[in-house]
Structure 1
Amino acid sequence: LEGEQLAKWQEVCSWDKVRFIDNYDEVESLLKQDSPMIFCSSSGMLNAGMAVGIAEKLLPHAKNCICFIGYSVEGTLSWKIKQKKTKTVTINGKPVASRCKVTNLHSFSSHIQRDDIIKYYSGGFGTGTYGKICLQHGNMKDRIGLASDLQEAIEKRNRTDKVVVVNKSTEILL
């Protein structure tokens, strides 16, 4: 990050309510507290890392909520949790009750194939509307082609979402 983006990130990092955690013992200690908190963790499809342990602790309690960002491959732990079709999911070989709220933020995706992107964001999966869909990963030629095909699929469903191909200089106003 540079310039204004770096300054904004440094501001976020200096907030007294933000903590960076690099070991699971600290995570477990925080999970034992009975106070509101948000964990931001990455682990692809919940296949490894601290995110799996965090999910295992949050899932059984109805007062908790797990927010997923984007697409999950069918059959993965994140996909199973998002489906909310069973009362338990298996984590580390053990059944874990799945009582917490689950929210899927249809905003970012990094593990979805082209055809599924078109189905997902044109309304083929789910019912969400997005307003703007920003394509920023991959080479420009492929993104332009995807944007055209996705926009066409959206319009066939009589939706008004707009597909935008972005680059470093694109400023997105939400």
Structure 2
Amino acid sequence: MSSRHRSHPSVRAAAAGAVTLAALVLGGCGSQEEDLVDTVPDSAREAVVDRQDDATGVQPVHEGVLDGTFYEQVEAWDGQQVDLTAEVDVLVSPRTFLLVPEPGTEVDPLLVLSPTDVAGLGEGATVRVEGVLGAAFDLPRVEEDTGVDLQDDRYDDFDAEPYLVATSVEVVGEG
């Protein structure tokens, strides 16, 4: 899929930081969380922090709710920073979940890969998620980019669907 957006170095740095961060901390998606965290070199952890510092001030291409307008722009916003507020529909794993679109929106829920466990996260909770949008989930590519085994059977239904690699998740309302 091709997208027609200008790429800025700061956006590329934010995307690279998000993918690297996800690789470091998405270990909770598999059964090897401690092994993955212990094998990440300190230099990689420091690079993530440096990229996050460089990415501050990057304005998201979308700030708002998960609705039809958002989905109409997914391909154009592929690889860019977005800021969404939505309700958690389903917890797929301790660090992956689905956001449900606004009522009356006839689109599928959005898969979110979170960098860390989120205190208070549960089905029905309202969350604010900042992260890098991917237009088409490709399990092998996401696993390669993040370095994490996402247990294929849980993610088969998300093939070619939009997804979000979160850089931060905040619970803003209980469900």
- Greater strand proportion: 2
Per the normalisation by structure 2, the TM-score is 0.25
User: Which structure is richer in relative contact order (CA contacts within 8 A, separation 6 or more)?
Assistant: 2
Per the normalisation by structure 1, the TM-score is 0.25
Larger Rg: 1
